[in-house]
Amino acid sequence: MREFFEKLYKGDDVTLYARLRERLLNHQKTMVVTANPEILMKASQDETMRQALMNESTWITPDGEGVVHATKQLGYHLWGKIAGVETVEKLFEIGNEEELGLYIYGSKQEVLDALAEKLKARYPHLQILGLKNGYTNHDDEVASDMLAKQPDIVLTALGVPRQELFIWKYFHQFDQGVFVGCGGSLDVLSGTKKRAPRIFIRLKLEWLYRIASEPSRLKRFYDSNIKFLFEIRKLKKKGM
């Protein structure tokens, strides 16, 4: 697991967004993994997921206080958390300013419909090339449609690890694009769900708000975050 922390992006958000804009304009293919404990645990247990994260064209960003805390505990200097929802929103802004093409695969149809209205109103120059809900189970067909349209920005909201594995499966077939597995970010950006109040974000307790809002998350939280903490303790003891 140590290799993920060595590769983790440790700079500030402004620099990250500037570099993403540059990659988009230079047609440099990039996979962005907005890492939380669940993603890193999956990658430590699944070789295909690990390969996706360790590919030279993949950027790993710290989305989750657990990852931020662990990074510092392991002795790395880190600017701080860069929320995935904010990264996605910034990509919308860049796409609008540069008149880029966007393709989204995942989430529920009602979320996509609500998001489409907001995108058209707020980002009129962003070209929406495709909006496919995540319940089609036709990955090959969706990938073929993406390849035909060659979008600049691809977002997958299929849940971990399916969204990352989908990107990785077809990544090498594309010539360009920034690809991001964005989880529940579209729920927030579409307005169908609310993000945690600012006080929770400032106190670094956004995770607690999510569990309180959706108690069904509790098992996932234990399976990933608690086990993640034990893994970090092992790394510290080994001094690796």
pLDDT digits (tens, 9 = 90+) for 122-146: 999 999 999 999 998 799 999 999 9
The answer on pLDDT for 240 being more than 60 is no
195: left (phi over 0), alpha (psi -120 to 50) or beta: beta
Q: Is residue 87 part of a domain?
A: yes
Q: Select from 2, 10, 144, 145 the least CA-distant residue to 81.
A: 10
Q: Select from 37, 46, 21 the least CA-distant residue to 73.
A: 37
Q: What is the DSSP letter of 204?
A: T
Q: Is residue 23 part of a domain?
A: no
Q: Is residue 19 part of a domain?
A: no
The answer on pLDDT for 209 being more than 60 is yes
Q: Is residue 140 part of a domain?
A: yes
Q: Is residue 96 part of a domain?
A: yes
pLDDT the model gives residue 183: 87
Mean pLDDT of 37-46: 96
Distance CA 160, CA 154 (A): 16
What is the sign of the dihedral through the CA atoms of 8, 73, 82 and 157? Answer: positive
Q: Is residue 228 part of a domain?
A: no
Q: What residues make up the domain containing 90?
A: 2-13+28-195
pLDDT the model gives residue 172: 97
Q: Is residue 208 part of a domain?
A: no
Which pLDDT band holds residue 207 (cuts at 50, 70, 90)? low
Q: Is residue 222 part of a domain?
A: no
The answer on pLDDT for 239 being more than 90 is no
pLDDT above 70 covers what percent of the chain? 92
Contact call for residues 180 and 91 (beta carbons, < 8 A): yes
Q: Read off the pTM.
A: 0.91
Mean pLDDT (the chain) is 93
Q: What is the full DSSP assignment across 80-102?
A: ----HHHHHHHHHHHHHHHT-EE
What is the number of structural domains in the chain? 1
Distance CA 36, CA 200 (A): 17
Distance CA 83, CA 63 (A): 5
Mean pLDDT of 53-77: 96
pLDDT the model gives residue 217: 63
